[in-house]
Chain A
Amino acid sequence: MTNHWIDIKNSDCILIMGSNAAENHPISFKYVIEAQQNGTTLISVDPRFTRTSSKADLYTALRSGSDIAFLGGMIRYILDNNLYDKDYVALYTNGSFIVDQSFDFKNGLFSGYDANAHKYDKSKWAFEKDKYGVPKMDRSLKNPRCVFQLLKKHYSRYSTKLVSTITGTSEKDLLTVYKTYAATGKTGKAGTIMYAMGWTQHTVGTQNIRTMAIIQLLLGNMGVAGGGVNALRGESNVQGSTDHCLLWHIWPGYLKTPRASDTSLTVYNDKYTPKSNDPQSANWWQNYPKYSVSLLKSFFGENANPGNEFGYSWLPKADDGKVYSWLDLFDEMYNGGIKGFFAWGQNPACSGTNANKTRAALKNLDWMVNTNIFDNETGSFWRGPGMDPATVKTEVFFLPACVSVEKEGSITNSGRWMQWRYQGPKPLGNSLSDGDIILMFGEKLKELYTKDPGVFADPILNLKWDYVTGGVYDPHKVAKEINGYFLQDVTIKGKTYAKGTLVPSFAFLQSDGSTSSANWLYCNSYTEKGNLSARRGQEDAVNKIGLYPQFAWCWPVNRRIIYNRASVDAKGNPWNPDRWVIKWTGEKWVGDVPDGGWPPLVTADGFKNPKTKHAFIMRKHGHAQIFGPGLNDGPFPEHYEPLECPVEKNFMNAQRINPTAPVYGGKADEWATCDPRYPYVGTTYRVVEHWQTGVMTRHQAWLLEMQPQMFVEMSVELGQLKGIKNGERVKVTSPRGEVVATAIVTKRFRPFKVGGGIVHQVGMPWHFGWEFPKSGKEESANLLTPSAGDPNTRIPETKAFMVNIIKI
């Protein structure tokens, strides 16, 4: 979230699309309901009428996989009716930037497409630069090659009529939603978006969110209270684990995983440190080497020094051009290329897309270590449906982990709040915290590599591994390491910081090896002032908008609403004086921690302020990106159909699917589009009663009592068509598998009018698995889902695919 949970209450209009917050983030509704009681309009857009929809002032449905068409229509509506915030767009976005002549869009393809490689040459999407190398801008937004004008042109095709043909949403409903939400473009009004996996899990996932980000920028909703682009994370600590490099392509703090061709630390730092020639651009990532070196110092301690590039060569590099995402790892495992596997706190046999492929892949392992609080379908895959244990060679080890309340440590919630939790009861039996397990694992590796160093023992032997107090794992030592230390006496701006003390914030980190920090974004969380994430202060900030800055700690540097420098006009006066985030007193900013302390763009007299910086400090050019030239599938979002879809062609352009989407072509990856054998759109989701694959909830009798069985929801019309009665068991099939489920025949699903025909959609939760409940008959919806993903993140497309329903 760019904002945070409490801030939802500040919104004038809440759009919940691509998420079902009432069911999957039930506590968020504390703030949604509070906002509604204060007059906020709640809009719910979902293929199915959900518990979220039941509280909405405005509900409409769209066919799964058509969100860009829906939102692209809103962009056109905002532009056609001049509802955008002109000052905001001109001041803070790259709407004014002039795009190079090499950029073009034709037949559903942007310029630079290589049809053989399914890739773009992104250099074709560059900005025109002046003689100093600064992008040329036209703040009047009139230049025909400026981003704003190109945006207008791009979305001129997204007429409400065409959008309705694609989405199945009536034109009347589209216009009502557009009008209601676009009203937040008025200066002083704020609209927010609450989205989740309903937007991300598509072959156009990243661009779904980009489309909304463009809307938020056009309406001036970024950086303000009650605004933002707010990802509701799927677990309590998904934000934290992502910050600390859960994903293969990033190091902690969103540093880049080096490629094999990044042959030295200098090459690596040069490649990933953006350079701006604009003196007004803070270009915060210019500090990249300070963060990468501090990270290496944290990994290797005194063994890291300038002479050995701080141990850079000891870290693994990704092969150039190769991808190591979830989809790719299991594809590799399926093809026999991976022999050992740690399944840690997860259940891939049910959670991963195309679960039959995943389960088959597990057979190719020599060994698997399953670390979890319960056994699950992954650890027991060898005795699952269709498996012959005698033919499975994989040796499975189970490490019992304790549950969250039995250990001390922090979680970082969707609002970026790092919250320290004390230990409740002691771990049961032989179970251990994840920290203890990893610590012992590291110690054992060091012992083995000392005895028998083999070919490359350096990374293990040089690893700093001092997180023990009194013989056990010490979460405070890890938290301090994450924050970082001065490793020698360091003098900054005349003040000396003693060796061994904690670094006050990331502005103090150095690239010469004199500081450490295991995650620069968290530098400031655990300082000489103490563990700030353990704070529980109840006092609100001076602006009284629910920031509660003394409660826990949030990254970066306790800034509760990021991009807040865009919440004010050029002079530093809040767009909304009643609900302000920061404001300029003439000498300094007050309110939230500002996005950089530089003065406003202009002085009180209206003269350009020589010391100012552009508002979006994390962008190279200091401006929010309406035109996003860094993504793999284009600088503007474009509607493409899902890999499996119910229409013969894309009504928007000549490309049916995202031309850069990764699609897997093996025997287990079969897919079928517009195939009469699989005529219905399928989607997956969660219910409030269960959690993820249900490993933690299917064993809870009170939760199972409320949602005891796998189900498939369908419209009354489809039920009639198929002769399926409410409550009867049916079989759902896709080219990759089948699942038996109880039919819920409901008015909450409606057939869609798409491209002149009728399209039916069904939906299923993915919380079940064969191991429990004991009947063994409730299985995972992911047996049906496809092996295809987003070209930027490789998140699988589990939210839109094709199925059939069969009476049994």
Chain B
Amino acid sequence: MSKSFLVDTTLCTACRGCQVACKQWHDLPAEETVNRGSYQNPEDLSFDTYKLVRMNEEVIGGQLRWLYFPDQCRHCLEPPCEATAGEPSAIFTDPATGAVIYTAVTKELGNIDEVIESCPYNIPRKAEDGTLAKCDMCLDRVQNGLQPACVKTCPTGAMNFGERDDILTLAKNRLAVVKKKHPQATLLDPDDIRVVFLVAYEPQMYYEFAVAANGTFDMTRQVALRRMLKPFTGLISRLL
């Protein structure tokens, strides 16, 4: 059984425990930041920041809303980054969980920028030497029967993790409840990804890349071509 997350933004208080827990578990260094006139910090995801609570003030229907979006890799069912890389030793999907994993080999990919471009959610980030990094679903924790660090630390139930079927059921149930208060509420791309966000308002108000463009995966021809050739590229890499 593969795994999935439900990120119920209607329950998120932006305590940012998830953001710190992620850094702590992965032993990631803090970035040098300044206050830019916002609580959101660091400003963006980076090679050292896999989880970021995006915070946005919007007036909706005459009411001020402070929207929180605990951003992270969506662990796509068919990851464009993996297809674009075409190199399983650099980017692969863990068959047991569905976690999309980047390795140190990513720096040797010839098309790093293309891999970054291929992500409909603007997730992968590059080190100076070209190595790519992002959320790894805390695969080491999950393989040992633990929840991802961000889920474990969440006090309100905004972050949920479990078997995909269970999570999708939970997501649908929660959506039905939330819709009573927020008729516009939606689940973001639930059929394509393993990190399903529940939002109460227009997704773009939370974050530009909250949903994949046009709600579908916008594959480049190169990606499509590579996906067609996938068995062969895998073979080639093994031969090399």
Whether A associates with B in a native complex is yes
Q: Contact string, B1-38, partner A, CB cutoff 8 A, digits 1/0?
A: 00000000001011111011001100001111111111
Q: From residue 136 to 174 of chain B, which have CB atoms closer than 8 A to chain A?
A: 155-157
Kindly report which residue of chain B lies nearest to residue A704, judged by CB atoms: B30
Do the beta carbons of B41 and A701 come within 8 Å of each other? no
Alpha-carbon distance A55/B12, docked complex (angstroms): 8
Do the beta carbons of A51 and B66 come within 8 Å of each other? yes
Give min CB distance, B39 to chain A, whole Å.
Answer: 7
Is there a chain B Cβ closer than 8 Å to A507's Cβ?
no
Is there a chain B Cβ closer than 8 Å to A709's Cβ?
yes
Do the beta carbons of A54 and B68 come within 8 Å of each other? yes
Kindly report which residue of chain A lies nearest to residue B156, judged by CB atoms: A33
Alpha-carbon distance A745/B36, docked complex (angstroms): 10
Do the beta carbons of A54 and B14 come within 8 Å of each other? yes
Please tell me the size bucket of the interface on B: 20 to 34
Residues of chain B lying within 8 A (CB to CB) of residue A544: none
Alpha-carbon distance A687/B15, docked complex (angstroms): 9
Q: From residue 194 to 221 of chain B, which have CB atoms closer than 8 A to chain A?
A: none
Give min CB distance, A530 to chain B, whole Å.
Answer: 31
Residues of chain B lying within 8 A (CB to CB) of residue A59: 64
Do the beta carbons of A29 and B35 come within 8 Å of each other? no
Give min CB distance, A245 to chain B, whole Å.
Answer: 32
Kindly report which residue of chain A lies nearest to residue B59, judged by CB atoms: A747
Give min CB distance, A196 to chain B, whole Å.
Answer: 16
Q: Looking at the complex, which one of B13, B31, B37 makes contact with A743 (CB distance below 8 Å)?
A: B37
Is there a chain A Cβ closer than 8 Å to B65's Cβ?
yes
Best-buried of A29, A702, A728 by chain B (most CB within 10 Å): A702
Q: Looking at the complex, which one of A26, A37, A709, A728 makes contact with B15 (CB distance below 8 Å)?
A: A26
Do the beta carbons of B41 and A29 come within 8 Å of each other? no
Alpha-carbon distance A689/B17, docked complex (angstroms): 9
Is there a chain A Cβ closer than 8 Å to B130's Cβ?
no
Total chain A interface residues with beta-carbon distance under 8 A: 39
Alpha-carbon distance A742/B33, docked complex (angstroms): 13
Do the beta carbons of A701 and B30 come within 8 Å of each other? yes
Q: How many Cβ-Cβ contacts under 8 Å join chain A to chain B?
A: 98
Is there a chain B Cβ closer than 8 Å to A688's Cβ?
yes
Is there a chain A Cβ closer than 8 Å to B190's Cβ?
no
Best-buried of B15, B39, B64 by chain A (most CB within 10 Å): B39
Do the beta carbons of B157 and A744 come within 8 Å of each other? no
Do the beta carbons of B68 and A702 come within 8 Å of each other? no
Given A23-B15, A30-B156, A689-B16, decide whether A744 and B35 contact each other with a Cβ distance below 8 A.
yes
Q: Contact string, A5-39, partner B, CB cutoff 8 A, digits 1/0?
A: 00000000000000000110011011001000100
Alpha-carbon distance A708/B57, docked complex (angstroms): 20
Is there a chain A Cβ closer than 8 Å to B177's Cβ?
yes
Is there a chain B Cβ closer than 8 Å to A707's Cβ?
yes
Residues of chain A lying within 8 A (CB to CB) of residue B156: 29-30, 33
Q: Looking at the complex, which one of A22, A702, A704, A711 makes contact with B13 (CB distance below 8 Å)?
A: A22
Do the beta carbons of B16 and A688 come within 8 Å of each other? yes
Alpha-carbon distance A55/B17, docked complex (angstroms): 17
Alpha-carbon distance A326/B16, docked complex (angstroms): 34
Q: Looking at the complex, which one of A37, A51, A711, A748 makes contact with B64 (CB distance below 8 Å)?
A: A748
Q: From residue 70 to 120 of chain B, which have CB atoms closer than 8 A to chain A?
A: none
Do the beta carbons of B14 and A51 come within 8 Å of each other? yes
Do the beta carbons of B41 and A706 come within 8 Å of each other? yes
Give min CB distance, A710 to chain B, whole Å.
Answer: 8
Do the beta carbons of A27 and B39 come within 8 Å of each other? no
Do the beta carbons of A707 and B30 come within 8 Å of each other? no
Residues of chain B lying within 8 A (CB to CB) of residue A746: 57
Alpha-carbon distance A141/B107, docked complex (angstroms): 81
Alpha-carbon distance A743/B34, docked complex (angstroms): 12
Alpha-carbon distance A493/B37, docked complex (angstroms): 69
Residues of chain A lying within 8 A (CB to CB) of residue B66: 49, 51, 53-54, 748
Is there a chain B Cβ closer than 8 Å to A101's Cβ?
no
Do the beta carbons of B155 and A27 come within 8 Å of each other? yes
Is there a chain B Cβ closer than 8 Å to A557's Cβ?
no
Q: From residue 716 to 756 of chain A, which have CB atoms closer than 8 A to chain B?
A: 725-728, 742-748
Please list the residues of chain A having a beta carbon within 8 angstroms of any beta carbon in chain B. Answer: 22-23, 26-27, 29-30, 33, 37, 49, 51-55, 59, 687-689, 701-709, 711, 725-728, 742-748
5 contacts between A and B (CB under 8 A): A52-B13, A704-B30, A708-B35, A726-B37, A727-B37
- Closest 6 pairs between A and B when the two form their complex, measured CB to CB: A727-B37, A701-B30, A726-B37, A54-B66, A705-B30, A742-B35
> A30-B155, A54-B68, A706-B19 known; 4 other A-B pairs, CB under 8 Å?
A30-B156, A706-B20, A726-B37, A727-B37
